[in-house]
Amino acid sequence: MGAVFAVATTAGLTLTPAASAATQSRANTVSARPADDSPGAAAGLCNSYYAGSGLVSFYNIGVAAIRLLGLVQVATVYLAKDDNTGYVCAVTEKTLLRGIPTPVSVYVENTDNGNRDTNSGLYPDYSLPVYVRTDDVNDCVKWGGTVLIPLLPLLSVDVSTGHCG
């Protein structure tokens, strides 16, 4: 049975599925919402796992939800930035089946210099954060993540228009 696959474009963000509609067995919707500037999951995780020297203060600059059938949010990919170091961080957090290890991944890439960091593994709640440096105020990043929930197709979000500045 073919799938109905909707891809939402919100505020200039183009979100694409990981697999083609022909290979999907269920209907899925990927959507995005504006960034939450308050301290949150991504900022806290990015601060905790940062291995560089000096103090960091990441704040959220982007949020992309991964939804099944347009109703059930299965994960959220967060983007955070630290102005002092120039680093941008991304992390995927599960909202469905928390506490149960399932495949989760995340990536962030500086589109101006090609530097990319990825993380994937079996995680109960969220991926490990990934980081790239934006050396210039005008550097752009693209970011995204995936989550695999048992008996469902691979769900993903790719914010390929990036975040600049």
Closest CA to 123 of 83, 94, 85: 94
CA distance 104 to 18: 13
The domain in which residue 151 lies consists of 5-159
Q: What is the mean pLDDT of residues 15-36?
A: 31
Q: Which two tokens stand for residue 36?
A: 């939450």
Q: Is residue 153 part of a domain?
A: yes
Q: Furthest-apart CA pair in the chain: how many Å? A: 54
Sign of the Cα torsion 44, 49, 54, 58 reads negative
Higher pLDDT residue, 141 or 27?
141
pLDDT (tens digit per residue) in 107-161: 999 999 999 999 999 999 999 999 999 887 788 999 999 999 888 888 888 887 6
Q: Is residue 165 part of a domain?
A: no
Higher pLDDT residue, 39 or 162?
162
pLDDT score at 106:
97
How many folded domains does the chain comprise?
1
Q: What is the mean pLDDT of residues 37-64?
A: 77
pLDDT score at 52:
72
Sequential DSSP letters for 83-141: TTT-EEEEEEEESSSTTS-EEEEEEEEETTT--EEEEEEEESSBPPPEEEE--STT-EE
CA distance 43 to 58: 5
Q: Is residue 164 part of a domain?
A: no
Question: Strands 102-110 and 59-68, how do they pair?
Answer: unpaired
Q: Is residue 99 part of a domain?
A: yes
Higher pLDDT residue, 4 or 56?
56
Q: Is 118 left (phi over 0), alpha (psi -120 to 50) or beta?
A: beta
pLDDT score at 53:
67
pLDDT score at 11:
29
pLDDT score at 41:
63
pLDDT score at 45:
86
Q: Which two tokens stand for residue 46?
A: 């990015």
Higher pLDDT residue, 5 or 51?
51
Q: Which two tokens stand for residue 136?
A: 């210039």
pLDDT (tens digit per residue) in 51-86: 776 678 898 889 999 988 778 899 999 999 998 888
pLDDT score at 4:
26
With 50 as the cut, is the pLDDT of residue 19 above it? no
How far does CA 52 lie from the centroid of its chain? 22
Q: Is residue 11 part of a domain?
A: yes
Banded model confidence at residue 40, pLDDT cuts 50, 70, 90? low
